[in-house]
Amino acid sequence: MSPVQAKYVLILPDGAADEPVTELGGRTPLEVARKPHMDWIAANGRQGTVATVPEGFDPGSDVATMSILGYDPRRYHTGRAPLEAVARRIPLARDELVFRCNLVTIADGRMIDYAAGHIGQAEAERLICELNSRFERRGARFHAGVSYRHLMVLADAGGQRPQCTPPHDIPGQSVRPHLPRGRGSRVLRRIMQEAESVLARHEINLIRRDLGENPANALWLWGAGRGPRLPRFRDRFRLRGAAVAAVDLIRGLAICLGWQVLDVSGATGYLDTDYDAKGRAAVAALEEYDLVVVHVEAPDEAGHQGDAPAKVRAIERIDAGIVGPVLSKLRSFDRWRIGIAPDHPTPVTTRVHSRIPPPFCMAGTGVPALGGGPFSEALAAASDLHVEPGHNLMEYFLRIT
């Protein structure tokens, strides 16, 4: 008789890893946060580090998460925007290039806010609609996303290879050195310049300025690429997967892998997301799926804002609302594993992603209980478990003998 199929859950607290913070007494948010369930996993299993960002790649969530899910970015990565386009079911022609575009706040030539004050949905959609009316006949189509996160599809771009900088990587910096460069960049710079002229005069931004809010007075293009092709997860690992995620990047990756994407009311991709609802969705999904991946963007948002207390609270809410209920459910099965894996550090002191290998921990059937103490960057780095390249982590996590 074959063994009962194991159940797996992988929880991705985006950007939760960090560095010691003076404001926290020289400790990291992971070390300060009350997270009994994550600490139980580390103490009753093992923890280590995982090199999620290969050499030559920027430490973005697209690259790092692709690694954690078991796919080598050097082979499969085509850009961030194409994955988000998959999530929104936006078809791409062979000669089209898709870009992630943020509504941002630029003042005195500096990147003041990569999210334009986390502009409201209705306001953002009106601005994107206005940009479409200006540029669509010129081969640029804008697709409204959520808040500040949108996409632009550029036609007749088969020969373009622009290099672009994510806006969250240049907080407070002069934008001029970070404008698009390389083949095709002239077109992009022109679009960004004309968009800035349109947005600065728009009624919405005049009102936002009057209210003391950051205006969405500029458009920032980045994350360009063409349609991805990834082998189905079930073909590789013989497991049916599902994803609980609010952000299009993760939802697009899940669709590419052939997973079911679960919609959760109240999941926002921000600090105010409904952690408990995500936990309930993951618990329910275990009845039907072999592997459930839960992504939470909140720690990354707190890191980009330089807000250490908010990052601590986000980690605590992930532990209480998601890790605890999921761990309890998993332990009702005969064979199971759970893992906690931040994709990359987003230190609150720098407010940008780091390529330092983040910590992970795992426990469950067949995982030796090494008593490694609470889950933290320092204890993970001091362990003897260091997964490199990072795309090998998934196979290790799923291996139950």
Question: What are 11-66's pLDDT values in tens digits?
Answer: 999 999 999 999 999 999 999 999 999 999 999 999 999 999 999 999 999 999 99
Instruction: Give the mean model confidence (pLDDT) for residues 187-209.
Output: 95
- Residue 159 pLDDT grade (very low, low, confident, very high; cuts 50, 70, 90): confident
pLDDT at 389 over 60: yes
26, 354 contact by CB (below 8 A): no
Query: Tens of pLDDT along 232-246?
Result: 999 999 999 999 999
Place of tokens 């082979």: 75
pLDDT at 342 over 90: yes
Place of tokens 């299993």: 45
pLDDT at 1 over 60: no
Averaged pLDDT score across all residues of the chain: 95
Tell me the CA distances in angstroms from 247 to 101, 234, 351, one per residue in order. Answer: 14, 23, 19
Instruction: Give the mean model confidence (pLDDT) for residues 170-188.
Output: 95
pLDDT at 371 over 80: no
Q: Where in the chain is the domain with CATH 3.40.720.10?
A: 7-77+229-398
DSSP 4: P
- Residue 137 pLDDT grade (very low, low, confident, very high; cuts 50, 70, 90): confident
- Residue 86 pLDDT grade (very low, low, confident, very high; cuts 50, 70, 90): very high
216, 127 contact by CB (below 8 A): yes
Tokens representing 340?
């906690």
CA contacts within 13 A on the Cβ side of 255: 19
Contacts of 204 (CB under 8 A, 6+ apart): 123, 126, 127, 216
**Which CATH entry fits the domain spanning 7-77+229-398: 3.40.50.300, 3.40.720.10, 1.10.3720.10, 1.10.540.10?**
3.40.720.10
SS3 14: coil
Q: What is the pLDDT of residue 227?
A: 87
343, 62 contact by CB (below 8 A): no
C-alpha–C-alpha distance, residues 191 and 132, integer Å: 11
pLDDT at 372 over 90: no
Pairing of the two strands 181-183 and 161-163: antiparallel
Q: What is the pLDDT of residue 2?
A: 47
CB atoms within 10 A of CB 332: 9
Give the residue from 251, 244, 249, 283 showing the smallest Cα distance to 267.
244
C-alpha–C-alpha distance, residues 366 and 143, integer Å: 46
Pairing of the two strands 386-387 and 46-50: parallel
Instruction: Give the mean model confidence (pLDDT) for residues 254-271.
Output: 96
Q: What is the pLDDT of residue 158?
A: 78
